Amino acid sequence: MIADLLKLDKFQTTRLLQRMEREGLVAGVERGKYLLLGLTPEKVFSNPLYIGANLLSPSYISYWSALHFHGLTEQVPRTVSVATTRRKSQISFRGTRYRFVTIKPGAFFGYRRETLDGLPVPIADEAKSILDSLTLPEYAGGITEVSNALRTAFSGQALDVRQLIEYAGRLNNGSLSSRLGYLLDLLHQPVEGLRPSRGPVRLDPRLAERGTFHSRWRLYVNISPGDLFPKGIV
């Protein structure tokens, strides 16, 4: 807190921040929260991933935003998705929406610090980007977008299937493992070590329980492989 750091009272702190904002040294993001701009504000404003990762701590960039960063999707998401162990409502800042997805503390791993336009940004690695997105496909453009990101990662040799399965085991999420196992089977990748859900799971959680029931993965295949992979599996 700037008040504690500079030993200022509430009134003095407000006046100081207002002056710094007028001089372009900080930008008000939301009530009581400011972004320190330093000497290159244009560098910060043009870097929404950096802004998103600094709005809440601990956090890292994931879901559709991370898939796009790693080149696993051609779609440019309009919302920056941030994984965090804390609860926070979505906000908008300078034309960009920031969505905060609350995850369990045990799921807070699998990210690394990347440098984006000279600024440090914690971003989910390729494997965690896929798994976060498979857990909640609605935050990554839907199951088709995530499935094609997985296919792209393997075709470009950007993904180690052993790391993917190890991460899935740490997450201990049966629904995730069922979706992942089914997709790995389709992509002719090893699945040893994956434990499917005990109860039935929908491949696309936004669709009803319909289509073929895959007994091995305890999964309703409620979207056809042709729709999952419009450009083909290979």
Burial zone of 8 (CB within 10 Å; 0-12 exposed, 13-18 middle, 19+ buried): middle
CB 102 within 8 A of CB 89: no
Per-residue pLDDT of 173-193, as tens digits, reads 999 999 999 999 999 999 999
Token pair of 172 as six digits:
């201990």
SS3 state of residue 183: helix
SS3 state of residue 59: strand
Query: Which of the listed ranges 27-36, 52-61, 103-112 does the model predict with the highest average pLDDT?
Result: 103-112
CB 180 within 8 A of CB 153: no
Number of DSSP helices (H) and strands (E) in the chain, helices first: 10, 11
pLDDT (mean) for 197-219: 94
Mean pLDDT of the chain: 89
Helix (H) or strand (E) holding 114: strand 111-116
22 or 76: which leads in pLDDT: 76
**Percent of the chain topping pLDDT 90:** 67
Where b means 16+ CB within 10 Å and e means fewer, 214-231 reads beebbbbbbbeeeebbee
Q: What is the pTM of this model?
A: 0.85
Q: What pLDDT sits at residue 39?
A: 47
Per-residue pLDDT of 43-63, as tens digits, reads 777 899 999 998 899 999 999
Categorise residue 38: left if φ over 0, alpha if ψ from -120 to 50, beta otherwise: left
Largest CA distance in the chain: 65
- Which amino acid is residue 132, in one-letter code? D
